[in-house]
Structure 1
Amino acid sequence: MKKTQLILIVVGIIAVVGLYALPSVVVDNEGEVNAITEDNAGASTSESNPVAMHEAEFSPDQQATVASLRSKLSEGSSHEALDSLGSIYQELGKYDSAGYYFALAADESNDLALAEKAGESYYEAFTFALDADKVAYTAEQTQKYFNQVLEKDPTRLDLKTKVAMTYVSSSNPMQGITMLREILEQDPQNEDALFNMGILAIQSGQYKRAAERFEELIQYHPQNLQGQFYLGVSYFEANQKNKAKAQFEAVKEMTEDEMILSSIQGYLDRL
């Protein structure tokens, strides 16, 4: 199953019981935001070099490759070797370690492509982080490296959306909300911004507003399975039972994934 599908199910289940990883934020009332956040103080020093904790999971061949690349580093700094190390960890899904090496390579070379790789890896690590210090650290690193790219190319709304979401999970969520609104002013059909504004509306209990966002999303992007699913969730939570049932039945026709179908059936059973 794709990671996006796993997130779809996990977050869908969490939404039912009222628990959610993001802070409670009112996202669509202009000029006002109510938030309940944790104090995301600076990350522990261990988070700045998470590589060691992943080394034990390497196969013998991978250990040999990593040892060879590190020997090149011992002979002299090389952003090519650092890039290769980052790629190995990224393929294994060790995104914080991948970000560590891509960041070293980007800092050494001032290469924006490497900065983007570092930002992407740290953002992936951010999306999976549960520990408050790790959330704060990976968010900070995501912002640092994506902003390097955005300074040179402010049209990269895909990166700006991800930066916005790191702020939403911080002690200053309104900064992220403002960024998402700016993106939609530039591109009213932006898929990522519409989806994230819908998710934030669900999280803050604004289910009718969430439905509006997801209706916009699927109008422009009808194949967005997550958007279709969360439109049903929004209708369900807004007590629009007929719309919810019709929407969930429609989503059932869009996928054969058993986990998604099981989650949908859970909602249908409660209607």
Structure 2
Amino acid sequence: MQKTKQVVVIGVVGALVAVLLAQPIKGLVNDKEEAQTSAPTANSSEFNLENVSQMSKQGLNSSLIEEISDIEAQITKSSAEEKVSLLQQLADKWDDLAKPAPQGFVYEEMAKTSPKLEYWLKAGQAYRAAYTNLQDTTLAQSLNQNAIRAFENAVKLDGSNLDAKTGLGAAMVSGTNNPMAGIALLREVVAADPKNIEANKTLGLFSLQSRQFDKAIERFKTVIALKPDAESYFYLATGYENIGLKNEAIAAFQQAKQLAADPTLSQFIDRRIEELSK
């Protein structure tokens, strides 16, 4: 099932890059124009575990829907002691299906039932994974705000936790009108742990989005030196391509293709290499 989730993530990378470069971060680009724009005001209360679960069940086969619904029914009848265990089963089920949106709500419910750093952290990470793959929708904005809330609760429980700070910083950049506060948190993480993969990757993505391609390249080179993967090579290639370093871009795209588990991404890379080779 891990391979399935990897394919889902890698398969959307090409589409995400196009959106990434087309949507500057508020407060980092076009400051004068963006200063007149309010932050997203999605009402988080309009989305909850029940209705997001129903949305996420669409397209699943009947046996999977029945399995999930059975666990949900058990939760409604469970004692406090049983509830967290059943919620974990439900979270695992959504994880197997690569459906992070309902998983985020499940982990938040676990955190409210049994306040633990682990649950708030997993809630924030699931919400973040979900809104990252949704583009400019009310649900994405709502999940972004949920992620901020979850990571804030995680930081309250452990102010030194770098995963919580990384998640909060990333969520603040995309979900508030004060992105520099989020960037500052991410830089704080890198200062404490220069080899922090997630913080470096996140800063690299925001550098791409704000069209600071030289900075993005350095971030992704750091990530690749620590843990090479198709996604990071793809973003590195995108950085090179945007500053006119065609040979370097082609080499990075080829590395991405070699590591990719998704034929759709491989085909996209082939087209990019063909264009760059002209």
Question: TM-score, structure 2 length as denominator?
Answer: 0.77
Tell me what 1:189 maps to.
Answer: 195
The aligned counterpart of 1:145 is: 150
* Corresponding residue number in structure 1 for 2:167: 162
Distance 1:60 1:48 in 2: 20
Q: CA RMSD in A?
A: 3.2
How many residues get paired? 262
5 Å-filtered alignment, 1:10-25, equals 10-14=15-19, 18-20=21-23, 23=25
Q: Any idea what the Cα deviations from partners look like across 1:50-101, whole Å, max 9, x if unmatched?
A: 344446655334433432332336x999444444444444444443333333
Q: Which of 93, 104, 119 is the aligned partner of 1:114?
A: 119
Residues 53 and 266 (structure 1 numbering): CA distance in 2 closer, same or farther, change over 3 Å?
Answer: closer
2: CA distance, partners of 1:121 / 1:182 = 23
* Partner AA of 1:186 in structure 2: A
Q: Distance in 2 between matches of 1:48 and 1:61?
A: 20
Distance 1:14 1:143 in 2: 22
Tell me, what secondary structure is at the counterpart of 1:23? Answer: coil
- Where do 1:1-271 residues align within 5 Å? 1=4, 2=6, 3-14=8-19, 18-20=21-23, 23=25, 26=28, 36=34, 39-43=39-43, 45-49=45-49, 50=51, 51-54=53-56, 59-72=65-78, 78-170=83-175, 171-221=177-227, 223-255=228-260, 257-271=262-276
State the shift of 1:44 in Å.
Answer: 5.0
* Whole-Å separation in 2 of the counterparts to 1:160 and 1:110: 18
Cα distance change on mapping 1:178 and 1:71 into 2, 3 Å: same
Aligned counterparts of 1:143 and 1:89: Cα–Cα separation in 2 = 21
CA distance in structure 2 between the partners assigned to 1:242 and 1:54 by the alignment: 42
Residue pair 2:220, 2:236 contacting (<8 A) in 1 also: yes
- Alpha carbons 1:214, 1:231 under 8 Å: kept: yes
Shift of the 35–114 alpha-carbon distance from structure 1 to 2, 3 Å rule, reads farther
- After superposing on structure 2, the runs of 4+ consecutive aligned residues of structure 1 that deviate more than 6 Å are 32-35
Q: Please, which runs of 5 or more residues in structure 1 have no aligned partner?
A: none
Aligned sequence identity (%): 24
Residue type matched to 1:19 in 2? A
Amino acid at match of 1:71: K
- 1:217/1:227 contact within 8 Å kept: yes
C-alpha distance in 1, partners of 2:255/2:95? 36
- Using a 3 Å threshold, how does the CA distance of structure 1 residues 201 and 33 change in structure 2: closer, same or farther? farther
Bigger helix fraction: 2
1:220-242 CA deviation, whole Å, 9 max, x = no partner? 33x23222222211111101223
Equivalent-residue separation in structure 2 for 1:252 and 1:131 (angstroms): 28
Cα distance change, pair 67–233 in 1 and its aligned pair in 2 (3 A): same
| Matching residue's letter, 2:41 | A
Structure 2: how far apart are the matches of 1:250 and 1:90? 28
